[in-house]
Each structure stands twice: as structure tokens, then as C-alpha cells.
Amino acid sequence: MLHLRLITPADRTDDVVELIGRTVGATHLVVLPGAARNPEGDVVMCDVAREAGDELIRGLRGTGIDRTGSIAVEDIDLSLSKRADEAEAEAPGEGVDAVLWEHLEEATHEESTLSVTYVAFITIATMIAACGVVLDNAVLIVGAMAVGPEFGPLAGLCTAIVQRGHRLALRSLTALLVGFAIAMAVTVLFSLFMDGVGLFSEAQLEGPRPNTGFVYAPDWFSFVVAVLAGTAGVLSLTSAKSGALVGVAISVTTVPAAANAAVALSYGDMAQTWGSTKQLLFNLLGIVLAGTLTLMAQKWFWAMQRKRRAVTPEPAR
């Protein structure tokens, strides 16, 4: 269940209450006339099943109260209410599968901004991965995967494509391309420094690397992994039960390839540099393609669910 707290101008309250009453899956309606002070207005609260939340939020925005008042949405961890159980049963589909597009856009907006923190994380991840590819050390590769933040702009780009959000698309592309460019440039300097102090060597890079050799040898298998990772990442982001380790799965196809390209460039090995760059671009394409198609499928699915379950709703109680 979701809890909505609304501040509505007095002349819009009746429309808002009527909209909530028409929404299948909404319940626990509370109206506090004149309770809001900044901005002034009435306070309206209700609970709604997650699977009905997107439709209700979209309708509330249609009344304009997001501009003249406020719409705040919170997840309810525990709700002991027979009426809440009935509301969830009335709503179409399953809450765990529901997509809250407003929440998705807000989350990806924050995660896809080119900030100092984002650049620091992706740079550190690439340098850790550089140590991993030189030493052919799987533990370091996993560490780099855990640090990499690039799924944020990738998800933002997928969302922007589906929702036709030009600003979000530009912000996401900027964070993705500039972030990787800075990370790889710094990693080239890092590699030169490590070589200078005797911790990296060209022989290590050129020698057999059974654990990390895949990062500069793009093939269709890599593309399949990228597609699967992109699908899993978007499902995790849109699901009510997202997994913290999905970001690691996403990073496996990106950060190591960027690191290997940077290290190879520092030694003038253009074959590995180009191979790793192709691997990186190939995998980014697979993730964006899969993520976009997954979001489109979810959008279509929920549109069909609403049509099938179109019934005359009971007033919210």
C-alpha cells in the first residue's frame, strides 16, 4: 500500500476527494479542512494499493495540485486493516509488479545527474577494475562492480525514451558519456603511475587472463548477458522488492571493459583498447535496448490490466 498526503486549495478539495472515491484500490480517506498553512489549503490523506497508485497520482496531477499544493507519497511497510486488504484485492494486478512512473522519473532524475559524487564513484570503480584486469583478480573485479554507479543514467535513458523526456535523456547521456570519459582518462594516468612504481607491467596485461580476458573480446554472448542484465536492472528498479545487488550485475558488463581500455591505452595496445571500447559500447547498447523494451512491456501490460478490470468503484472508506 501507498500513503498519499495532499495539500489542496479549498476550491479543488471536492474534485480531489471525488477522484479518490472513483479510484479502485483507494481507501482510508481523511479530509482536514484548512489544516495546511504553507501553502494554505486543506489536507487530504488516503491509502491506495500500489497497483492503482500510478493512475491516481496521474489523475491528481491533472487537477494541478502539484503546482498549487503538494502531493507526497510514502510506502506503507505495515497496514493492519480489513479495508486495506479489500482495496488491494479490488485493484488490478499485483502490487509487486506495479510501475509508479512518477517515482521512476524522480528516482532516475536524481541518479542520472553528473555530480562530483557520481564522477568520483565511477572513477574509483574503474581504477579498482584496472587493478583487477592487470592482476586477473576476480575479487577486485567484483569490488569494482559494487562501486560502479552507472546504472542510474542507464535507467534514466530508458525511462526518457519510453516517457519521451528529452531533458532526462540529455542529462542521462551526459552523465554516462562524460562520466566514463573522465573515469577512463584518470585511469590511464593511474595506470602510468602504477607502472612507474612497479605495480603494473605490460607483461601482466598481455599475459593469459582467464578471469578477465572477456572484457576486450566482444561477441554475441556478451550482448546476451547485457540484455539480461538490463532487463533485471529495470525490473528491480520498478519492482516494490528491488534488490541491492542488481547494480552489481549491471556493472559486470561495463566498468571492467572501460578499465581494460584505459590500461591498454596507457601501454599503447590499441587492439585491446579498441576491443574493450567495443565491448563497452556493445554492452551499453544491450542494456539500454533491454531496459527500454522492458519498460514498454510493463506500460502495455498495465494498460491492459486496467482495461480488463474496469469496474464501477466503490467510494473510498
pLDDT digits (tens, 9 = 90+) for 13-43: 999 999 999 988 899 999 999 999 999 999 9
Per-residue pLDDT at 316 exceeds 50: no
Angle between helices 116-135 and 138-147 (to 10 degrees): 170
Give the residue-averaged pLDDT of 116-135: 94
- Do the beta carbons of residue 200 and residue 136 sit within 8 Å? no
- Please give, one letter per residue, the 3-state secondary structure of 131-197: HHHHHCCHHHHHHHHHHCCCHHHHHHHHHHHHHCCHHHHHHHHHHHHHHHHHHHHHHHHHHHHHHHC
- Residue 55 grid coordinates: 493512475
pLDDT digits (tens, 9 = 90+) for 62-83: 999 999 999 999 988 888 899 9
Q: How high is the pLDDT of residue 91?
A: 76
- Do the beta carbons of residue 242 and residue 306 sit within 8 Å? no
Angstrom distance (rounded) from CA 164 to CA 295: 12
Q: How high is the pLDDT of residue 11?
A: 93
Report the chain's mean pLDDT, rounded to a whole number.
Answer: 86
At the topology level of CATH, where does 103-303 sit?
Glycerol uptake facilitator protein (1.20.1080)
Q: How high is the pLDDT of residue 218?
A: 84
Task: Give the residue extent of every domain in the chain.
Answer: 2-96, 103-303
Q: How high is the pLDDT of residue 240?
A: 57
- Do the beta carbons of residue 46 and residue 54 sit within 8 Å? no
pLDDT digits (tens, 9 = 90+) for 82-103: 998 888 888 776 656 677 777 7
Nearest to 231 by CA among 143, 168, 297, 307: 297
Mean pLDDT is highest, among 86-100, 133-147, 188-202, 222-236, for 188-202
Q: Could you name the CATH architecture of 2-96?
A: 2-Layer Sandwich (3.30)
Written as one letter, the residue type at 278 is K
Pairing of strands 40-48, 26-37: antiparallel
The percent of residues in the chain predicted with pLDDT above 90, rounded, is: 53
pLDDT digits (tens, 9 = 90+) for 133-167: 999 998 898 888 888 888 889 989 999 999 888 88
- The alpha carbon dihedral of 105, 170, 111, 218 has a sign of positive
Per-residue pLDDT at 310 exceeds 90: no
pLDDT: which is higher, 29 or 217: 29
Q: How far apart are the first and last CA of the chain?
A: 15
Q: In what order do the strands lie in the sheet with 70-75?
A: 26-37, 40-48, 2-8, 70-75
